[in-house]
Amino acid sequence: MDEIEAGLLKLEQKIEELQEKGDSLSQEIRDHDTELLARMAKSAVPVVKIVGLNMLRKGKQDTKGEIYDPAYFPGKMIILGKAAKPAAFRPDNPQMPVTDQFCVLSEEGKFFELMYSFDGFLTDSYLNPIDAKTAIEHYGYDIIFMLYRAMHDFLKGEEALVEALEKVIGYIFARNA
């Protein structure tokens, strides 16, 4: 029994050491979260250019809720998060209440808050530039995860595409040979 107890004691010590190391590394990441997000944004620029969306800038809404006569922002963006509680009003016009607010990353690698307002007929928006620090403060660490996830899913898609193309090419040349 002494060997078993000694083994358990050693396991408990190892678990404690790993938890302490994990806590210190987690704190170090929290201390440098802004730099991490900014570097991730730079790395994601090619992905945003390919998988990003053209976001609605302005559009009229009919009685069924359908948008017509839409205008879009130039350049693509990916949505990283949605504000749980949107701002009371838009910075460009205090008379415009915000109905929806999102954190987006542009194809230039810049962060914005995309704020939508609706007056019953017109859906209008404002693109508020923010830095990485503000993005984390307003939207939390979820945006880091979403950016990582977008890059990860894009990589998986690219790997699947290359694999499929290799199979097709192999099939074509096997038939012609």
pLDDT in tens, 64-77: 888 889 999 999 99
What are the boundaries of each domain within the chain? 32-176
pTM for the full model? 0.78
Compute the distance between CA of residue 136 and CA of residue 31 in angstroms, rounded to an integer.
12
| Residue 148 host element (H or E) | helix 142-176
Compute the distance between CA of residue 112 and CA of residue 78 in angstroms, rounded to an integer.
10
> β-strands 56-61, 100-106: how paired?
unpaired
List CB contacts of 42: < 8 A, sequence separation 6 or more: 109
Mean pLDDT for the chain?
88
pLDDT in tens, 103-141: 999 999 999 999 999 988 889 999 999 999 999 999 998
